Amino acid sequence: MTITLEHYILLGTLLFLIGVAGFLIRRNIFLMFMSIELMMNGVNICFVSFARYYHDMAGQVFVIFVMTVAAAEAAVGLAIILILYRNRETLNADEFHLMKH
Amino acid sequence: MFATLFFYYLFVMILASAVLMITRKHIVHAVLYMLLMFFHIAGLYILLEAEFLAAVQLIVYAGAILVLYLFVIMLVNIRQLETLREQLFGHLPFALVSAGLLCAGVVGILIQETAFKDSPAAVQAATQMSNPELLGQALFTQYLFPFEVASLILLVALVGAVLLASRKI
Residue-wise pLDDT for A71-95, tens only, equals 999 999 998 888 888 887 777 777 7
Task: State the Cα–Cα distance between residues B38 and B73, nearest whole angstrom.
Answer: 19
Candidate from B92, B106, B161 with C-beta closest to A25 = B92
Residue B50: its chain A contacts at CB < 8 A? 48, 51-52, 60, 63
| Chain A residues 77-96 with a CB less than 8 Å from chain B | 78-83, 85, 87, 89-92
Confidence of residue B96 (pLDDT cuts 50, 70, 90): confident
Q: Which pLDDT score, from 0 to 100, does residue B89 have?
A: 64
Reported as a single tens digit per residue, the pLDDT across B34-43 is: 999 999 999 9
Residue A50: its chain B contacts at CB < 8 A? none
User: CB–CB of A91 and B160 under 8 A?
Assistant: no
Residue A39 has pLDDT above 70, yes or no: yes
* Residues, chain A: 101
Interface predicted TM-score (ipTM):
0.90
Q: Quote the minimal CA–CA distance from B59 to chain A in Å.
A: 11
Mean pLDDT of B45-71: 90
Other CB atoms within 10 A of residue A27 CB: 19
Buried/exposed B126-149: b ≥16 CB within 10 Å, e otherwise: eeeeebeebbeebbeeebeeebee
Q: Quote the minimal CA–CA distance from A75 to chain B in Å.
A: 6
| Predicted TM-score of the model (pTM) | 0.82
B13, B48, B164, best to mutate vs chain A, most A CBs in 10 Å:
B48
Return mean pLDDT, chain B.
80
For chain A, what percent of residues have pLDDT higher than 90? 50
Reported as a single tens digit per residue, the pLDDT across B128-163 is: 678 888 888 888 999 999 999 999 999 999 999 888
Residue A8 CA: distances (Å) to CA of A47, B118, B135, B156: 10, 12, 21, 34
Q: How far is CA B100 from the centre of its chain?
A: 22
Residue A75: its chain B contacts at CB < 8 A? 68, 157-158, 160-161
DSSP state, residue B126: -
Task: State the Cα–Cα distance between residues A25 and A101, nearest whole angstrom.
Answer: 25
Residue B116 has pLDDT above 70, yes or no: no
Q: Quote the minimal CA–CA distance from A101 to chain B in Å.
A: 17
Confidence of residue B122 (pLDDT cuts 50, 70, 90): very low
Higher pLDDT, B87 or B142: B142
Q: Which pLDDT score, from 0 to 100, does residue A64 have?
A: 93
Higher pLDDT, B108 or B6: B6
